[in-house]
Amino acid sequence: MTIPHDFRFESCDLATLKPGLPSKLYFDPGAYSAELQRVWNRQWLYVCRSHALAQPGDYRVIQIGTQSILVVRDTDAALYAVHNTCRHRGSILCEEVSGHLPRKRIVCPYHRWSYALSGELVSVPFLETGGSENCITLYKVAAREWGGNVFINLDGDAAAEFESSADPGLDVLANWPLADLRVAHTHEYRLACNWKVFWENFVECYHCPGTHPDLCRLVPLYRQTFTSLTDRLAAAGVAEGVAAGIESWTVDGKAHGPTFPGLTVDERNIGYTFLTLLPTMFIVAHRDYVRQVSIVPAGPEHTAVRSEWLYSEAALNAPDFNPQPAVDFVMQLLREDARVCELNQRGLRALPHTQGRLVPQEDDVFRFHEWYRTRMNRGNG
């Protein structure tokens, strides 16, 4: 694919650029506390792949700020999420991040109050309850599954529709068998930056030419600092997609798993399709594998990140299957992004730097800021 040499953003006056968010929002403990309440406690959040909760009694615990949430599979295959807190005196119920409840009961380790997997109180040691336990249940949290993924929302009955968090929409991945895919590799790490820095870096490709040379080799459009088609791209006749001869995002540009059979010609040829579910994750789908990247804030200046490489069972069972070319390519991208995100965070505390400025190539950063402002203002009444 050839990019016209004269295809550039128009010049701009640096004195009139769009303002970024105030710098203190990236490190102030008070701001972080408000974000947990107004953003993270009210949005759909990724927990794990559904197959990690395959059997009745399987559970996962996710920590969001001060909130510990327990997600468990019931005997009828239903999924339940509750605050990981006993109704007696508030003890934590499950101490491990994941596990299995062999008795198909949630039992408080302190005083042994026992609950059904769906959250209803079943028994209280040394007390005749006379059925009064039926009115006591664990504190429920909204939960749902989509595409083989488990999500929760601490807003409970007030939770917004899950579909509303998807950009550009859940249907963009309709041709990938997402629910049937299995995890071939997982990488978890902690970034020394605020969670908003992670998303700002993701939504713009202004940094791509200087930070991701190998990615720009696979996707020539990224040399022009774009992340998606715009009216100007269409007007100039510039198509998005991988370079000629490139099949997938791997170190050699080749697909190392079978092509998903339901993809359209355009989906195969473009080579990557993105779905974003703010603030919790993004998914990028290729012709032979899908990668999911999810985050959880771990403090004002730290973010926990998990990357998962998903393949079909047919690929995993093939005797010559090797996900390493895809893993190695993405790991290089992760290292490159981690470096610039952490550099960004380190510089934000400069006393005179109260606010950044956004150039036209960072329009999506501005839109992310608008998304953030809207949710923070809603929470402020």
**17-37 per-position pLDDT tens digit:** 889 999 999 999 999 999 999
Higher pLDDT, 134 or 283: 283
Q: Which residue has the higher pLDDT, 364 or 156?
A: 364
Grade residue 133 by pLDDT with cuts at 50, 70 and 90. low
| φ, ψ at 338 (rounded to 5°) | -60, -40
Distances (CA, A) of 312 to 94, 177, 263, 356: 32, 8, 14, 43
What are the E-state strand segments in 198-289? 273-277, 281-285
- pLDDT score, position 6: 35
- Give me the sign of the Cα torsion angle 79, 83, 87, 93: positive
Give the pLDDT of residue 171.
97
Tell me what the mean pLDDT of segment 240-253 comes to: 95
Which residues neighbour 282 within 8 Å (Cβ) at sequence distance 6 or greater? Answer: 202, 274, 275, 276, 292, 293
Look at residue 224 in the predicted model and tell me its pLDDT. 77
Q: Which amino acid type is present at position 150?
A: V
Mean pLDDT of 103-126: 96
Average pLDDT of the residues in 174-183 = 98
Q: Express each pLDDT in 307-363 by its tens digit.
A: 999 999 999 999 999 999 999 999 999 999 999 999 999 999 999 999 999 998 899
Kindly indicate the confidence band of residue 5, based on its pLDDT and cuts at 50, 70 and 90: very low
Task: Look at the chain and count its residues.
Answer: 381
Percent of all residues in the chain with a pLDDT value above 70, rounded to a whole number: 89
Q: How confident is the model at residue 75 (pLDDT cuts 50, 70, 90)?
A: very high
pLDDT category of residue 156 using cuts at 50, 70 and 90: confident
Rounded average pLDDT over 185-205 = 97
pLDDT at 126 over 90: no
How many angstroms separate the CA atoms of 121 and 106, rounded? 9
Exposure on the CB side of residue 58, measured as CA atoms within 13 A: 15
Distances (CA, A) of 257 to 253, 314, 374: 12, 9, 41
Mean pLDDT of the chain: 91
Measured at the CA of 93, the angle between CA 133 and CA 88, to 5 degrees, comes to: 40
What does the block give as tokens for 378? 């809603």
Dist. CA 356–CA 23, nearest whole Å: 7
Residue 15, pLDDT score: 60
The pLDDT of 276-300, averaged and rounded, is 98
Reported as a pLDDT band with limits 50, 70 and 90, residue 247 is very high
Residue among 232, 202, 233, 235 nearest 220 (CA): 233
Q: Is the pLDDT of residue 11 over 90?
A: no
Q: The pTM is what?
A: 0.91
Please name the residues in contact with 156: beta carbons below 8 A apart, sequence gap of 6 or more.
140, 141, 142
Q: Which amino acid is at 358?
A: L
